[in-house]
Structure 1
């Protein structure tokens, strides 16, 4: 089994969905607090996945640089 880090495209999508959910939560807060809280929770999850992807890519780059030298 070959391991590959998360793609840049996936990290970008997760971050974009996180930003969109944050904006939606801010706009929906005065109208419906329940949906706004759900949007914020979705945003936190997406930021977490994007952060994991960035960390995954950094660790993979560090491992490759250590094995190539």
Structure 2
């Protein structure tokens, strides 16, 4: 079964906003495919500050309840 290409269909839409949005989406997809970008996994050191902030908020919340 042939799957319709929604990006290509909407690139030729009569609505200029839809047409422009899907043209930009298609350009971005092509750039990602051409660059073969590498996504680095998040390390514990990257998450340390948000974790500490979350702990402080939880402790503050528990302190205000008591």
With the length of structure 2 as denominator, give the TM-score of the two structures.
Answer: 0.41
Higher relative contact order (CA 8 A, sep 6+): 1
The structure richer in helix per residue is 1
Larger Cα Rg: Structure 1 or Structure 2? 2
With the length of structure 1 as denominator, give the TM-score of the two structures.
Answer: 0.40
